[in-house]
């Protein structure tokens, strides 16, 4: 990076106002196919005006600001797509505000119609802007650099000198120099004349077309990326499933606990038919309880009757099966419960996953047992179903203030604090229930016997100690034992067939951007004219004035140096002779020149322009 | 991985050393500024002001719309042309001529501007004269910056060795790295151009940043949480840190631009007799005079942002790739992602603004500051206040 003293840059006025040295596309008149012949003139004109307005840089700027602004509430309000529970909390905390925000899509900002309106407008503007820029750039790519201005030496950093070569020879020599420097060069055809009728000996050279190419690639890639993101959301799906070590799932709609899919996904045919079993789950932690590593050992078959293979799924390392990827996104504990009747016969047994609550994996467990075998009681014949609420603590300690807590996330001393209920769970009534929460409306709390004494509302079990892990005193003389714990993992299956597309667009975005920010577009013009003698009209034999000038579009250093180098080379190539004028032969700025209009008689002809 | 406590405490000590040395360097740069102000009487100062105003450099800059002097140039050419009895073209016939004249006028102004600028910027003996004392203080400040930088590199390296991983895994480490990048950028600029004047303005935020990092954000050395343990992390975070360090420099130059721009406008008002030089101008003038022209600060900002923007774009994309590997979606509008996006869009708007007539200068500067504010929200408010999946701040 260079200092603040940036040398020559293109004067904006020159860029914006004149045809020759301007780099911008020609002022667009009537872009696109709007305003067909059938439309009334006025309407066509106003459509065209709106289109112009929309595809202008100023509108793009405004829409970019709007887009940034519109994204802000998405980070301040809880979003359904990220955390639906927080949205529910928000509704509880702000009962009057939340519904209003909800109607304005405040909890779904990035799917909101107004958000879509902004980015769609931006992309329409972009496409409109691009269509003309691409056409214009394509023309520039196959066309010739614009013709030299009358006095190239008057551009910033321009210079002129005398040469003994004839004008065509001088131009040829200059052409060779610029070709060697890989400029695209166009020499004025023989016989071309200037507006005043004098022969035109000039050439125009241009380099750095890649800047605009890169810029266009960047913008086009933006459009492609948006299209890829959109298609991905139509053709993609995702499912989340909780798997206890030893269990598995198949990639079908019904296997998942949660499933969502794009509107063009056919759940019968588009889901890759794999099945997967988690054989083992290992978590390791730092001594202070911070997580170090999680890995799930799985066996899977990628086709219905395909061979079984094994793999390891870790955070950051999903399993790829066809277009689907299986991610490990969470884990936790599932204690094993056995409900026995008074004879010691097993009534129910199973693993119950508990929801982790904190970093030390204290987890909430909810156990619902509908089929207890107990007779219905009372005049309304209420069923005697059992339910337990519990807190599972993998490394259990008794904290004087907070009771039983977990001090480490590994299951070193698994404990369970339980409360029990009996009554009507209202399951099997056709209304779906959250398995992780308990509705105790029609239940009453049990007094439990167990390790910490008799007739308590809560019992504390130590799962590793066979003598301290059974709750007794349940209705009908039943007992509940928590005789072990397994880890579970949460897997997410994701399929987005357009991910590769989006990635390719992202690569193009970066490539285009780098090219457009690094490459300078610059033009160099060289004009030769026969030197005029002291008496106006007499041409001095074989003496030529050579003028060099150039423009660079971007605010970049280095063009001044490059132009100087080019001028030196051209000067050497056209040397042989001549009284070389000092660099910048015309040192006085034009404002001063106005005060001495005819310093040299020759000026009168040089001013032909 | 076991933590090497020897390296860990070495890293902490070195960071302390870094902060002290940077603070001293900052004082040095500040003193150099202050000394050059005391070097002249206010009368001399105003004389210098008038001289500067008279030069075309400031003249063109203070006449806020760039077009005014240009039109003068164009008119002159026309007068010139018709005075010379130009063949076959009316006064406004050839816009190229107008453009050429305009460009010529601008180039002359540029040259004068460069000269004035060089004079104003030169820390060593040029106009305005800097007392030798101040020069030495400035040189010592540079040496201190280099020493502080070395300690800073040592601190970051020791941190990495202590943890046995890359030293950018939590906010404390990010902040240390960002300031390291900013100081490195400044040192590199120093080797290319006379930008010692920038020293105090870079070191001030750096010292504040480091102080904040060392107190509020500090966490003991530890391993990475599993979600961060990926080579995409290294790539993504390195890019994000590099871009942020460079954006920090651009924010500094933007603020300086705004100050200098205001000063130049005031100066123009004084020169035009519309206002009297205020007491503030007399006392603080020395400092403002030493800054480059507003126009060059504006260009410098553009160049710095132009460098950082592709890096930031890359960082966001690398982050998306990492998110895809870790969470199965490349973009989920997590607060961190949302604010990276907002930052990106605002800086894209800045680049557009620079290309749009009428949005250069002060409006563009506002966008640049807006972009930096969004970056700040992204780094600090999102981690500390709004939480999301990216809650790896390690701040408890
Ligand atoms: C989707 C939103 C857009 C984004 C994120 C975006 C981003 C950018 C960026 C980063 C640059 C700087 C690249 C460079 O200087 O080479 C740029 C330049 C440019 N953009 Fe966009 N752009 C967007 C939409 C548009 C639209 C709608 C237009 C048309 C009005 C447009 C026209 C341009 C032009 C003409 C340039 C070149 C500016 C120059 O000459 O420096 N862009 N854009």
How much is the pLDDT for A589? 38
Do the beta carbons of residue A577 and residue A169 sit within 8 Å?
A: no
Q: What does DSSP say about strands A458-462 and A470-471: parallel, antiparallel, or unpaired?
A: unpaired
Angstrom CA distances, B272 to A197, A496, B264, stand at: 47, 66, 12
Q: What is the mean pLDDT of residues A164-193?
A: 89
How much is the pLDDT for A80? 84
| Residue of chain B whose alpha carbon sits nearest to that of A233 | B329
* Cα of A452 from ligand 1 centre, angstroms: 71
Q: Which of B100, B106, B317 to mutate to test the interface with A (most CBs of A within 10 A)?
A: B100
Task: Identify all chain B residues contacting A513, using CB atoms and an 8 Å cutoff.
Answer: 309-310, 313
**Pick from A1, A141, A157, A213: which is nearest to A552 by CA?**
A157
In sequence order, which residues have a C-beta less than 8 Å from that of residue B85 and are 6 or more positions away? A604
| Residue of chain B whose alpha carbon sits nearest to that of A24 | B355
User: Is pLDDT at B90 greater than 50 in this prediction?
Assistant: no
CB pairs under 8 A, 24+ apart, for A598-607? A598/B83, A598/B84, A601/A534, A601/A536, A602/A531, A602/A532, A602/A536, A603/B84, A604/A536, A604/B84, A604/B85, A604/B86, A604/B87, A605/A532, A605/A536, A605/B87, A606/A151, A606/A529, A607/B80, A607/B81, A607/B84, A607/B86, A607/B87
Q: What is the mean pLDDT of residues A508-514?
A: 95
Q: What is the mean pLDDT of residues A160-169?
A: 87
Task: List the single range of A40-54, A175-189, B62-76, B262-276 with lowest mean pLDDT.
Answer: B62-76
Question: Do residue A3 and residue B193 have CB atoms under 8 angstroms apart?
Answer: yes
More confident residue, B174 or A136: A136
* Cα of A280 from ligand 1 centre, angstroms: 52
Dist CA A147 CA A158 (whole Å): 16
Q: What's the maximum distance between 2 C-alpha atoms anywhere in chain B?
A: 88
**Pick from A327, A331, A292, A324: which is nearest to A313 by CA?**
A327
In sequence order, which residues have a C-beta less than 8 Å from that of residue A268 and are 6 or more positions away? none
Q: What is the mean pLDDT of residues B144-159?
A: 92
Residue B112 in tokens: 């004068």
Angstrom CA distances, B187 to A15, B68, B176, B182, B209, stand at: 35, 38, 16, 9, 18
**Pick from A490, A125, A481: which is nearest to A315 by CA?**
A490
Q: Tell me the pLDDT of chain A averaged across its residues.
A: 82
Q: What does DSSP say about strands A415-423 and A443-445: parallel, antiparallel, or unpaired?
A: antiparallel
User: Is pLDDT at A351 greater than 90 in this prediction?
Assistant: yes
Dist CA A227 CA A219 (whole Å): 13
Q: Which atom of ligand 1 is nearest to the CA of A211?
A: 16
Q: Per DSSP, what are the bridge partners of residue B19?
A: none
How far is residue A268 CA from its own chain's centroid? 31
| Residue of chain B whose alpha carbon sits nearest to that of A330 | B327
User: Is pLDDT at A376 greater than 70 in this prediction?
Assistant: yes
Dist CA A568 CA A521 (whole Å): 20
Q: Which atom of ligand 1 is nearest to the CA of B309?
A: 10
Nearest-CA distance from B379 to chain A in Å? 13
* Cα of B70 from ligand 1 centre, angstroms: 28
User: Is pLDDT at B100 greater than 80 in this prediction?
Assistant: no
* Cα of B352 from ligand 1 centre, angstroms: 6
Nearest CA to ligand 1 atom 32: A57
* Cα of A129 from ligand 1 centre, angstroms: 10
* Cα of A218 from ligand 1 centre, angstroms: 8
Closest partner CB to A510 (pick from B79, B314, B382): B314
Q: Which atom of ligand 1 is nearest to the CA of B313?
A: 10
To test the pocket of ligand 1, the residue of B304, B347, B352, B355 to mutate (highest count of ligand atoms within 8 Å of its CB) is B352
**Pick from A375, A409, A401: which is nearest to A293 by CA?**
A409
Q: How confident is the model at residue A266 (pLDDT cuts 50, 70, 90)?
A: confident
Match 């509302």 to its residue by tokens: A457
Residue B358 in tokens: 């009428």
Question: Distance between the two ends of chain A, CA-based, in angstroms?
Answer: 38
Nearest CA to ligand 1 atom 26: A126
Dist CA B279 CA B285 (whole Å): 9
Burial (CB < 10 A; 0-12, 13-18, 19+), residue B26, is: buried
Nearest-CA distance from B51 to chain A in Å? 19
Q: What is the mean pLDDT of residues B113-141?
A: 58
Question: Do residue A61 and residue B352 have CB atoms under 8 angstroms apart?
Answer: yes
User: Is pLDDT at A265 greater than 70 in this prediction?
Assistant: yes
Q: Which atom of ligand 1 is nearest to the CA of A133?
A: 35
User: Is pLDDT at A582 greater than 50 in this prediction?
Assistant: no
Dist CA B158 CA B165 (whole Å): 11
* Cα of A516 from ligand 1 centre, angstroms: 10
Map residue A445 onto helix, strand or coil: strand
The CA R_g of chain A, rounded to the nearest whole Å, is 40
Question: Do residue B88 and residue A157 have CB atoms under 8 angstroms apart?
Answer: no
Q: What is the mean pLDDT of residues A261-266?
A: 84
- Residue A142's H or E segment, with its range, is helix A113-142
> How confident is the model over B273-327, as pLDDT tens digits?
777 666 666 665 566 777 778 888 888 899 899 999 999 999 999 999 888 877 7
User: Is pLDDT at B65 greater than 70 in this prediction?
Assistant: no
Q: How confident is the model at residue A462 (pLDDT cuts 50, 70, 90)?
A: very high
Closest partner CB to B330 (pick from A67, A499, A509): A499
Q: Which atom of ligand 1 is nearest to the CA of A129?
A: 29
User: Is pLDDT at B234 greater than 60 in this prediction?
Assistant: yes
User: Is pLDDT at A348 greater than 70 in this prediction?
Assistant: yes
Nearest-CA distance from A64 to chain B in Å? 6
**Pick from A315, A238, A319, A236: which is nearest to A275 by CA?**
A319
> How confident is the model over A282-321, as pLDDT tens digits?
998 888 888 888 899 999 998 878 899 999 998 878 899 8
The CA R_g of chain B, rounded to the nearest whole Å, is 25
- Residue A363's H or E segment, with its range, is strand A363-369
Dist CA B21 CA A333 (whole Å): 51
User: Is pLDDT at A251 greater than 50 in this prediction?
Assistant: yes
More confident residue, A191 or A347: A347
Task: Identify all chain A residues contacting B118, using CB atoms and an 8 Å cutoff.
Answer: 5
Task: Identify all chain A residues contacting B389, using CB atoms and an 8 Å cutoff.
Answer: 82
Closest partner CB to A494 (pick from B302, B303, B329): B329
Q: How confident is the model at residue A7 (pLDDT cuts 50, 70, 90)?
A: very low
Question: Do residue A593 and residue B338 have CB atoms under 8 angstroms apart?
Answer: no
Do the beta carbons of residue A318 and residue A292 sit within 8 Å?
A: no
Q: How confident is the model at residue A469 (pLDDT cuts 50, 70, 90)?
A: very high
How much is the pLDDT for A39? 59
| Residue of chain B whose alpha carbon sits nearest to that of A107 | B333
More confident residue, B95 or A414: A414
| Residue of chain B whose alpha carbon sits nearest to that of A75 | B335
| ipTM of the prediction | 0.72
**Pick from B352, B243, B368: which is nearest to B307 by CA?**
B243
Q: What is the mean pLDDT of residues A68-90?
A: 86
Burial (CB < 10 A; 0-12, 13-18, 19+), residue A122, is: buried
Q: What is the mean pLDDT of residues A174-196?
A: 88
Dist CA B300 CA B169 (whole Å): 32
- Residue A539's H or E segment, with its range, is strand A539-552
Question: Do residue A609 and residue B89 have CB atoms under 8 angstroms apart?
Answer: yes
Angstrom CA distances, A329 to A239, A393, A413, B318, stand at: 12, 21, 25, 20
User: Is pLDDT at B272 greater than 50 in this prediction?
Assistant: yes
Closest partner CB to A57 (pick from B80, B81, B352): B352
Catalogue the E-assigned strands of A251-341.
258-261, 275-285, 291-301, 308-314, 319-321, 324-340
- Residue A214's H or E segment, with its range, is helix A209-235
Task: Identify all chain A residues contacting B327, using CB atoms and an 8 Å cutoff.
Answer: 327, 329
Q: How confident is the model at residue B103 (pLDDT cuts 50, 70, 90)?
A: low
Do you find a cis peptide bond into B128, omega within 30 degrees of 0? yes
To test the pocket of ligand 1, the residue of A51, A52, A215, A513 to mutate (highest count of ligand atoms within 8 Å of its CB) is A215
Q: What is the mean pLDDT of residues A50-65?
A: 85
Q: How confident is the model at residue A67 (pLDDT cuts 50, 70, 90)?
A: very high
Dist CA B117 CA B134 (whole Å): 20
Question: Do residue B327 and residue A327 have CB atoms under 8 angstroms apart?
Answer: yes
Q: What is the mean pLDDT of residues B351-380?
A: 87
Q: Tell me the pLDDT of chain B averaged across its residues.
A: 73
Closest partner CB to A155 (pick from B103, B309, B313): B103
How much is the pLDDT for A460? 92
Three-state SS annotation for chain B: CCCCHHHHHHHHHHHHHHHHHHHHHHHHHHHHHHHHHHCCCHHHHHHHHHHHHHCHHHHHHHCCCCHHHHHHHHHHHHHHHHHCCCCCCCCCCCHHHHHHHHHHHHHHHHHHHHHHHHHHHCCCCCCCCCCHHHHHHHHHHHHHHHHHHHHHHHHHHHHHHHHCCCCCCCHHHHHHHHHHHHHHHHHHHHHHCCCHHHHHHHHHHHHHHHHHHHHCCCCCCCCCCHHHCCHHHHHHHHHHHHHHHHHHHHHHHHHHHHHHHHHHHHHHHHHCCCCCCCHHHHHHHHHHHHCCCHHHHHHHHHHHHHHHHHHHHHHHHHHHHHHHHHHCCCCCCCHHHHHHHHHHHHHHHHHHHHHCCCCCCHHHHHHHHHHHHHHHHHHHHHHHCCCCCCCCCCCC
Dist CA A597 CA A604 (whole Å): 9
Closest partner CB to A591 (pick from B76, B84, B189): B76
User: Is pLDDT at B18 greater than 80 in this prediction?
Assistant: yes
User: Is pLDDT at A525 greater than 60 in this prediction?
Assistant: yes
Question: Do residue B326 and residue A1 have CB atoms under 8 angstroms apart?
Answer: no
Dist CA B265 CA B362 (whole Å): 12
Q: What is the mean pLDDT of residues B173-202?
A: 86
Task: Identify all chain B residues contacting A514, using CB atoms and an 8 Å cutoff.
Answer: 310
Nearest CA to ligand 1 atom 4: B348
Do the beta carbons of residue B137 and residue B32 sit within 8 Å?
A: yes
Q: What is the mean pLDDT of residues A539-561?
A: 74
Dist CA B390 CA B316 (whole Å): 14
Phi and psi at residue B184, to the nearest 5°: -60, -45
* Cα of B347 from ligand 1 centre, angstroms: 11
Of the spans A556-560, B195-199, B340-344, which averages the highest pLDDT? B340-344
How much is the pLDDT for A175? 92
Burial (CB < 10 A; 0-12, 13-18, 19+), residue A37, is: exposed
More confident residue, B186 or B272: B186
Closest partner CB to A315 (pick from B302, B326, B330): B326
Nearest CA to ligand 1 atom 27: A126
Nearest-CA distance from B278 to chain A in Å? 28
Closest partner CB to A292 (pick from B193, B223, B374): B223
Residues with a CB atom less than 6 Å from ligand 1 = A 55-57, 60, 64, 122, 125-126, 129, 215, 219, 222, 516-517; B 348, 351-352, 355
Give the count of Cβ contacts less than 8 A between chain A and B. 274
Dist CA A90 CA A87 (whole Å): 5
Q: What is the mean pLDDT of residues A394-421?
A: 91
Do the beta carbons of residue A453 and residue A387 sit within 8 Å?
A: no
Q: What is the mean pLDDT of residues A327-337?
A: 92
User: Is pLDDT at A35 greater than 50 in this prediction?
Assistant: no
């Amino acid at each position: 990076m260079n200092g603040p003293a940036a040398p020559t840059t293109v004067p904006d006025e020159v860029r914006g106002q004149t045809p020759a040295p301007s780099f911008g596309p020609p002022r667009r008149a009537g872009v696109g196919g709007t305003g067909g012949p059938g439309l009334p003139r006025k309407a066509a004109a106003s459509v065209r005006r709106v289109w112009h307005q929309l595809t202008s840089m100023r509108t793009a700027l405004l829409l970019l600001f709007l887009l940034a602004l519109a994204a802000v509430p998405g980070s301040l309000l809880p979003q359904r797509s990220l955390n639906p529970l927080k949205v529910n909390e928000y509704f509880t905390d702000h009962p009057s505000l939340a519904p209003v925000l909800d109607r304005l899509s405040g909890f779904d900002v990035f799917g909101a119609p107004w958000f879509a309106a902004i980015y769609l407008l931006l992309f329409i503007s972009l496409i409109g802007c691009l269509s003309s820029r691409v056409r214009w750039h394509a023309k520039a790519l196959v066309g010739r650099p614009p013709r030299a201005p009358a006095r190239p030496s008057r551009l910033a950093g321009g210079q002129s000198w005398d040469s003994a070569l004839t004008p065509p020879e001088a131009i040829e020599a200059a052409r060779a120099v610029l070709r060697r420097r890989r400029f695209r060069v166009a020499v004025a055809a023989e016989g071309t004349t200037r507006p005043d009728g004098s022969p035109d000996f000039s050439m125009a050279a241009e380099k750095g077309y890649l800047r605009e190419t890169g810029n266009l690639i960047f913008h086009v890639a933006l459009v492609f990326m948006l299209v890829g993101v959109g298609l991905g959301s139509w053709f993609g799906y995702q499912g989340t499933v909780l798997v206890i070590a030893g269990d598995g799932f198949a990639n079908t709609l019904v296997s998942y606990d949660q499933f969502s899919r794009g509107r063009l996904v056919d759940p019968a045919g588009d889901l890759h038919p794999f099945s997967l079993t988690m054989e083992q789950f290992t978590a390791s932690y730092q001594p202070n309880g911070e997580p170090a590593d999680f890995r799930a050992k799985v066996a899977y078959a990628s086709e219905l009757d395909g061979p079984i293979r094994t793999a390891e799924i870790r955070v950051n390392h999903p399993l790829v099966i066809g277009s689907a990827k299986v991610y490990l996104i969470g884990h936790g504990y599932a204690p094993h419960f056995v409900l026995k009747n008074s004879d010691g016969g097993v009534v129910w047994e199973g693993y119950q996953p508990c929801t982790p609550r904190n970093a030390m994996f204290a987890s909430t467990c909810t156990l619902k047992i509908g089929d207890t075998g107990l007779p219905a009681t009372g005049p309304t014949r209420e069923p005697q179903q059992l339910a337990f609420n519990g807190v599972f603590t993998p490394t259990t300690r008794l904290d004087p203030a907070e009771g039983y807590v977990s001090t480490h996330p590994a299951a070193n001393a698994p404990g369970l604090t339980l409360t029990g209920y009996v009554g009507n769970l209202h399951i099997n009534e056709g209304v779906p229930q959250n398995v992780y929460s308990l509705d105790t409306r029609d239940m009453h709390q049990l007094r439990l016997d167990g390790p910490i004494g008799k007739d308590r509302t809560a019992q504390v079990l130590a799962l590793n100690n066979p003598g301290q892990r059974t709750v007794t005193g349940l209705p009908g003389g039943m007992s509940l034992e928590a005789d072990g714990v397994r880890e579970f993992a949460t897997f997410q299956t994701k399929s987005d067939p357009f991910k590769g597309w989006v990635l390719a667009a992202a690569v193009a975005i970066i490539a285009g951007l780098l090219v457009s920010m690094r490459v300078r577009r610059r033009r160099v013009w060289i004009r030769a004219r026969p030197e005029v003698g002291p008496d106006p009209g007499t041409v001095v034999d074989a003496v030529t004035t050579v003028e060099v000038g150039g423009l660079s579009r971007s605010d970049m250093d280095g063009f001044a140096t490059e132009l100087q180098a080019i001028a030196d080379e051209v000067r050497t190539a056209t040397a042989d002779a001549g009284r070389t004028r000092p660099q910048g032969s015309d040192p006085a700025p034009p404002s001063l020149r106005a005060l001495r209009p005819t310093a040299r008689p020759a000026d009168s002809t040089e001013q032909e322009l | 991985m076991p933590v090497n406590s020897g390296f860990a405490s070495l890293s902490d000590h070195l960071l302390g050393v870094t902060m002290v040395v940077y603070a001293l360097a900052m004082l040095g740069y500040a003193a150099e500024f202050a000394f050059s102000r005391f070097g002249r009487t206010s009368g001399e100062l105003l004389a210098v002001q008038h001289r500067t105003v008279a030069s075309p450099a400031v003249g063109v800059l203070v006449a806020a719309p760039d077009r005014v002097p240009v039109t003068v140039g164009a008119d002159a050419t026309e007068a010139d042309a018709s005075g010379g009895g130009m063949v076959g073209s009316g006064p406004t016939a050839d816009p190229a001529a107008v453009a050429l004249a305009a460009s010529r006028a601008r180039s002359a102004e540029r040259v004068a501007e460069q000269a004035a600028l060089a004079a104003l910027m030169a820390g060593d003996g040029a106009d305005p004269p800097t007392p030798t004392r101040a020069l030495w203080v400035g040189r010592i400040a540079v040496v201190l910056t280099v020493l502080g930088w070395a300690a800073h590199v040592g601190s970051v390296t020791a941190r990495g060795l202590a943890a046995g991983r890359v030293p950018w895994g939590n906010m404390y480490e990010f902040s240390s790295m960002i300031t390291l990048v900013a100081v490195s950028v400044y040192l590199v600029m120093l080797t290319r151009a006379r930008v010692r004047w920038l020293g105090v303005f870079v070191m001030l935020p750096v010292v504040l940043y480091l102080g904040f990092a060392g107190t509020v954000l500090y966490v003991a050395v530890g391993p990475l949480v599993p979600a961060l343990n990926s080579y995409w992390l290294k790539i993504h975070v390195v890019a994000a840190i590099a871009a942020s360090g460079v954006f920090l420099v651009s924010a500094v130059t933007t603020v300086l631009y705004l100050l200098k721009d205001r000063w130049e406008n005031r100066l123009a008002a004084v020169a035009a007799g519309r206002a009297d030089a205020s007491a503030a101008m007399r006392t603080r003038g020395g400092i403002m005079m030493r800054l480059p022209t507003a126009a060059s600060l504006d260009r410098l900002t553009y160049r710095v942002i132009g460098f950082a923007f592709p890096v930031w774009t890359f960082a966001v994309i690398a982050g998306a790739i990492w998110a895809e590997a870790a969470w199965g979606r490349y973009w989920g509008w997590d607060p961190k992602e949302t604010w990276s996006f907002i930052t990106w869009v605002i800086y894209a708007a800045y680049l557009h603004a620079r290309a749009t007539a009428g949005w250069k200068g002060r409006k563009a500067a506002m966008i640049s500051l807006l972009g930096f504010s969004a970056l700040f929200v992204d780094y600090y408010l999102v981690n500390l206040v709004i939480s999301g999946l990216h809650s790896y701040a390690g701040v408890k």
